[in-house]
A and B are shown apart, each in its own frame.
Chain A
Amino acid sequence: MHLAYPAVLAVLLFSVGVYGVLARRNVILVLMSVELMLNAVNLNLVAFDVWLRDTLHAGQALTLFTITIAAAEIGLGLAIVLLVYRTRRTAAVDEVTALGDRHEADGQGADDQGADDHEAADAAKEQAAA
């Protein structure tokens, strides 16, 4: 098999993943795009491993490791997303901005966080009532 086939497929997949990471707004969709990128890398590694006839099988070993890393990342990542959703009631990347650099003076004071959480709780109540 021509090596260019898997290699081109891999880089195209990777680019699709890059597009997804940049274009998506929902955090879980971003995570899925990252998975696409990682899978592209896996295809690359397997193809190179077979091509090189590597006696150490570094490519396949690294592929297995990458798959495991991806699983670990997605597990932890979803836990984080759910945590954000629970406290902020959103899963959109660009709505999670409470910590940005604020150069304009904001008079909220030390407990702005508390206010945030209360807002979230209120929103939740409204949703439940609706």
Chain B
Amino acid sequence: MSTLLAAAGPLEPAARSYLSPTGQEVVFLLVGVLVLGAAVVSVTTRRLVHAALWLVVALGGLAVEFLLLTAEFVAWVQVLVYLGSVIVLVLFGLMLTRAPIGRSPDADSGNRPAALAVGLASAATLVTLVVDAFRSSWIDLSGAAGTTRVTGEYLFSHWVLPFEALSVLLLAALIGAIVLSRTQGGRARPRAGKLRTAPTKPKER
């Protein structure tokens, strides 16, 4: 991807000013607007599956932002985990709970104005806070901070313990999800194709 990025703009921060953004900054901003727009549509649309698909756009755009920030490995993991698995699971969930085509009556709750107020308030506060704090900070993107080799090195030289703890977490989530989605007494269901000896009725609940 490096050449594609190089085509987008010079890597050296030429001039540090709001007024003359570098090519990279322009790309970042454009993708950022796309991400934000997709996110807004995703939380406001009343078509359930569309919301999930807009979320795909937002998360994919974020992967591009990670690439622009030189965190290459994180970007691919984002695509692999979010776009390849999380969204698919979400769509799965939506479809299994009968997502209708068209607008869904149960998309939004009654407290949208309150939610809007809270959202705007938090946006205003946080933006002020962040802009104030980082008004004179620039990122130097010259070093490759997130190639796979670097990632492997820091993960296994500094973050072994959380990494191991995560494996426990993942296993627990997997087992938990499996056991919750198994139907009650689902251990001995008749397999398709085999003769049933007796009508299997779930025992009284």
Taking a contact as CB atoms closer than 8 A, the residue among A12, A51, A72 that contacts B173 in the complex is A72
Question: Hey, which bits of chain B sit against chain A, CB under 8 A?
Answer: 13, 16, 18, 21-22, 24-25, 28-29, 32, 35-36, 39-40, 42-43, 48, 51-52, 55, 58-59, 62, 65-66, 68-71, 73-74, 77-78, 81-82, 85-86, 89-90, 92-94, 96-97, 104, 106-109, 111-112, 114-116, 118-120, 122-123, 126-127, 129-131, 133-135, 137-141, 143, 145-146, 150-151, 154-155, 158-159, 162-163, 166, 169-170, 172-174, 176-178, 180-181, 183, 205
Query: B130 contacts A11, CB within 8 Å?
Result: yes
Taking a contact as CB atoms closer than 8 A, the residue among B92, B133, B139 that contacts A78 in the complex is B92
Question: Hey, which bits of chain A sit against chain B, CB under 8 A?
Answer: 1-26, 28-29, 31-33, 35-36, 39, 42-43, 46-47, 49-51, 53, 56-58, 60-61, 63-65, 67-76, 78-83, 85-86, 90-94, 114, 117
Query: B106 contacts A91, CB within 8 Å?
Result: yes
Query: B145 contacts A50, CB within 8 Å?
Result: yes
Asked whether A9 and B138 contact (CB < 8 A) given A19-B119, A57-B150, the answer is: no
Q: How far is the CA of A60 from the CA of B69 in the complex (A)?
A: 11
Q: How far is the CA of A114 from the CA of B59 in the complex (A)?
A: 42
Query: B78 contacts A67, CB within 8 Å?
Result: yes
Classify the secondary structure of A's interface with B. helix
